[in-house]
Amino acid sequence: MNLIRVSDPADPCVLAFRDVKERDLTGRQGLFVAEGEVVLRVLASPASRCAPVAVLIAEKRLEALGDALERLPEGTPVHVAPQPVLDAIAGFHLHRGILALGRKPEPLGLEAFLDALPEHAVVVGACGIGNHDNMGGLFRNAAAFGAAGLLLDETCCDPFYRKAIRVSVGAVLRTSFVEGAQAATMVEALQARGFEVLALTPSASESLSQLKPAARTAILLGSEGPGLPAEVIARCRPLAIRMSGGFDSLNVATTSAVALHHLTTAACV
């Protein structure tokens, strides 16, 4: 383990960890910051698609994290600091006491990603998801229910934003996804490969509970409020999740969990 003791917040060796919140807004040129023990363990695991670059932890967390730190690639710097120094570096009180710097994987192309999928697969498509909590929730649910990956249109927020990674409990680091395509292009590419594309919308006359999933199925989810554009829904099979008490919509991450549970359990019956 490449341990480096840090006693000065101005030490150049921890420059990449300085003022975390401010730099979240400006980006890190292909790198990202991950926060917390669970996320660090995913980043250090063989399942991660991302490469660990460096770690910064509080002294009090070192012993408990020894097994995870030993799994880091040889030579990965592990900076260890007293809690007050750690807080001064981050620019806020980091009660979890753990930050890691990682490198994003090479972007996946839409065509290549879809061509590599198995005969039976569920894919999540996201359009206009701008909230990082929701983005993290989509990745967490996709991983939990065994989705083959996600397609994010060009209006979605960055899943490698620190909060999105944290909410996903590290699923962003291990789940395949494609970014940047237009929604219509996503739908066309999926349908060309035999996917039935379902558009989740409260205005649909058909209920999700009545659906018998196809071997290859994709669910398309829009932002809360506006939902999916009408022209996108028209290209898909619209489905609704029936509710009571005058409600007609759910949080988009919750919607994904309900839909994925149905698709993955109904397919096994």
Tens-digit pLDDT string for the chain (269 aa) = 899 999 999 999 999 999 888 777 656 678 999 999 999 999 999 999 999 999 999 999 999 999 999 999 999 999 999 999 999 999 999 988 999 999 999 999 999 999 999 999 999 999 999 999 999 999 999 999 999 999 999 999 999 999 999 999 999 999 999 999 999 999 999 999 999 999 999 889 999 999 999 999 999 999 877 889 999 999 999 999 988 877 767 899 999 999 999 999 875 54
Q: Return the structure tokens found at 26.
A: 């400006």
Which of 73, 103, 133 lies at the terminal end of a domain, its last residue? 103
Which long-range CB contacts under 8 A does 107-110 form with residues at least 24 apart? Answer: 107/178, 107/179, 107/180, 108/176, 108/177, 108/178, 109/178, 110/151, 110/178, 110/181, 110/185, 110/186, 110/189
Whole-number CA gyration radius for the chain: 20
Whether residues 123 and 238 share a domain: the answer is: yes
Whether residues 55 and 138 share a domain: the answer is: no
CATH code: domain of residue 82: 3.30.1330.30
Whether residues 39 and 120 share a domain: the answer is: no
Q: How many domains does the chain have?
A: 2
- Domain with 186, as residue range(s), is 110-266
Which of 37, 68, 103 lies at the terminal end of a domain, its last residue? 103
Whether residues 88 and 201 share a domain: the answer is: no
Whether residues 22 and 129 share a domain: the answer is: no
Whether residues 52 and 120 share a domain: the answer is: no
For position 267, what pLDDT does the model report? 56
Whether residues 8 and 41 share a domain: the answer is: yes
Q: Return the structure tokens found at 21.
A: 């919140």
For position 232, what pLDDT does the model report? 95
CA-nearest of 105, 104, 124, 108 to 116 is 108
CATH code: domain of residue 164: 3.40.1280.10
Which of 103, 127, 150 lies at the terminal end of a domain, its last residue? 103
Whether residues 15 and 120 share a domain: the answer is: no
Whether residues 123 and 221 share a domain: the answer is: yes
Whether residues 15 and 94 share a domain: the answer is: yes
Whether residues 26 and 90 share a domain: the answer is: yes
Whether residues 193 and 75 share a domain: the answer is: no
What's the predicted TM-score (pTM) here? 0.93
In the chain, the DSSP E strands lie at 2-5, 31-35, 51-58, 77-81, 98-103, 121-127, 149-153, 177-181, 196-200, 216-222, 237-239
